[in-house]
């Protein structure tokens, strides 16, 4: 029986390890979670290390010991942040699975565009948590709650500045109606909203996601934006979606709309966003992501504007962990051992 060496470079629970090892007797699993933290600290910006690594997380073993682990690995299970030189140090590597859903996380490393099969947990992340965040962002501005911090600073209430609006009967546009986007649309529909959505390649014969009134492609986006009171960005970041929301797109949006971004900061041209806010084109923007979020704080023009709610990429976090990364990994491991196609393989040309 051929042995398959699987290396985990992210911390994993004993229960998850047992699930992986139970897939097949051929599996030889090595848990090296935390071993590479020192290297990650040395190769990623300090802002990233502070955000994602513990203050005493400096790794384990010698460089030679860590190299030996990588050199023997046929399959690697990883997370975020990751080793930037993984491909160069793992000559036997055939498959890498990253626990996060976003393929763009890997752009900085040498796995991107390589001969290694790379899969993600797309569609199996904490989709409900993220969808709830998106709806919370909509409500934050719909009810004028952002004005409370302004009034607190001024020590005086400006009653007329709140201008609350009702969500029921309003239109929401979900840009990227995949796993997360479909859940956002479902919650919006439950609140009585009309839901429109876009996907990169919608299938005309496929049923609409629950709660959606219409699902179109990229060419329908501007038409949907002109009708939408709320816009939620949940698409993948690719070359096609970089600065998808630029000056022309903000001009196409319905005046007074609320924008929510739970995808990647690079999808929004921040200069264009600042310009749209300056012209009072938007009621507000809730951003769980921003350009350069792994390198430093947001731009002062955005962070200081009460009409912009910025959080440090926490939309997927809650007291109820529902991430299905290990479910996908185990299913894919069975397929890998059987020589069948894997789910969620990154297409380097498409970008996810």
Give the model's confidence band at 201: pLDDT under 50 very low, under 70 low, under 90 confident, else very high.
confident
pLDDT in tens, 87-99: 999 999 999 999 9
Measured between alpha carbons, how far is 219 from 216 in angstroms, rounded to an integer?
Answer: 8
Catalytic annotation on 132?
no
321 has a pLDDT exceeding 80: no
The helix/strand count (H/E) of the chain reads as: 13, 12
| Average of per-residue pLDDT across 315-341 | 92
Give the model's confidence band at 101: pLDDT under 50 very low, under 70 low, under 90 confident, else very high.
confident
**pLDDT at position 54:** 85
Q: Angle at CA 64, nearest 5°, toward 63 and 68?
A: 115
Measured between alpha carbons, how far is 201 from 114 in angstroms, rounded to an integer?
Answer: 25
pLDDT in tens, 241-288: 999 999 999 999 999 999 999 999 999 999 999 999 999 999 999 999
Measured between alpha carbons, how far is 313 from 310 in angstroms, rounded to an integer?
Answer: 9
Q: What is the mean pLDDT of the chain?
A: 95
195 has a pLDDT exceeding 70: yes
For 96, 102, 326, the CA distances from 111, given in Å and listed in that order, are 9, 14, 21
CB-facing half-sphere around the CA of 42: CA atoms within 13 A: 9
Catalytic annotation on 264?
yes
338 has a pLDDT exceeding 80: yes
Q: Which of 199, 264, 281, 299 is catalytic?
A: 264
49 has a pLDDT exceeding 70: yes
**pLDDT at position 1:** 65
Helix (H) or strand (E) holding 327: helix 325-338
Query: 81, 40, 76, 16: which is closest to 313 by C-alpha?
Result: 81
Measured between alpha carbons, how far is 93 from 229 in angstroms, rounded to an integer?
Answer: 47
- Tell me the whole-structure pTM to 2 decimals: 0.91
Query: 209, 207, 212: which is closest to 196 by C-alpha?
Result: 212
Domains of the chain, each with CATH number or no CATH: 4-124+323-338 (3.40.50.720), 127-310 (3.40.50.720)
CB 27 within 8 A of CB 19: no
- Give the per-residue SS3 of 235-254: CCCCCCCCCCECHHHHHHCC
> Is the pLDDT higher at 345 or at 206?
345
155 has a pLDDT exceeding 80: yes
Q: Which of 199, 249, 293, 299 is catalytic?
A: 293
Catalytic annotation on 200?
no
**pLDDT at position 244:** 98
Q: Which of 19, 223, 307, 313 is catalytic?
A: 313
102 has a pLDDT exceeding 70: yes
Most confident of 100-104, 201-205, 297-301: 297-301
Report the first-to-last Cα separation within the chain, whole angstroms: 34
**pLDDT at position 252:** 97
């Amino acid at each position: 029986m051929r042995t398959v060496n699987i290396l985990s470079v992210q911390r994993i629970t004993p229960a998850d390890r047992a699930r992986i090892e139970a897939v097949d007797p051929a599996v030889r699993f090595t848990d090296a979670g935390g071993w590479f933290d020192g290297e990650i600290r040395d190769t990623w910006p300090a802002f990233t290390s502070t955000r994602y690594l513990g203050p005493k997380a400096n790794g384990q073993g010698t460089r030679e010991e860590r190299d030996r682990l990588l050199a023997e690995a046929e399959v690697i299970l990883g997370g975020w942040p990751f080793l930037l030189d993984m491909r160069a140090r793992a000559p036997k590597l055939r498959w890498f699975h990253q626990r996060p859903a976003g393929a763009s996380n890997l752009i900085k490393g040498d796995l991107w565009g390589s001969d290694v099969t790379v899969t993600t947990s797309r569609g199996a992340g904490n989709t409900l948590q993220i969808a709830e965040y998106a709806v919370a962002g909509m409500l934050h501005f719909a009810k004028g709650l952002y004005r409370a911090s302004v009034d607190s600073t001024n020590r005086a209430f400006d009653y007329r500045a709140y201008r609350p609006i009702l969500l029921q009967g309003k239109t929401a546009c979900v840009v990227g109606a995949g796993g997360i986007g479909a859940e956002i649309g479902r919650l919006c529909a439950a609140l009585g909203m009309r839901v429109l959505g876009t996907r990169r390649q919608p299938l005309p014969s496929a049923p609409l996601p629950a709660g959606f009134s219409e699902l179109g492609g990229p060419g329908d986006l501007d038409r949907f934006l002109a009708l939408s009171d709320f816009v939620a960005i949940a698409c993948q970041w690719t070359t096609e979606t970089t600065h998808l929301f630029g000056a022309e797109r903000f001009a196409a949006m319905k005046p007074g709309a609320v924008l929510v971004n739970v995808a990647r900061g690079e999808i929004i041209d921040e200069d264009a966003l600042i310009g749209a806010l300056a012209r009072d084109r938007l009621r507000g923007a809730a951003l769980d992501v921003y350009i350069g979020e792994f390198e430093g704080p947001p731009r002062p023009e955005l962070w200081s504007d009460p009409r912009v709610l910025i959080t440090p990429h926490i939309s997927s976090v809650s007291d109820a962990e529902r991430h299905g990364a290990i479910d996908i990994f185990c299913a894919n491991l069975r397929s890998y051992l059987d020589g069948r196609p894997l789910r969620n393989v990154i297409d380097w040309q498409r970008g996810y």
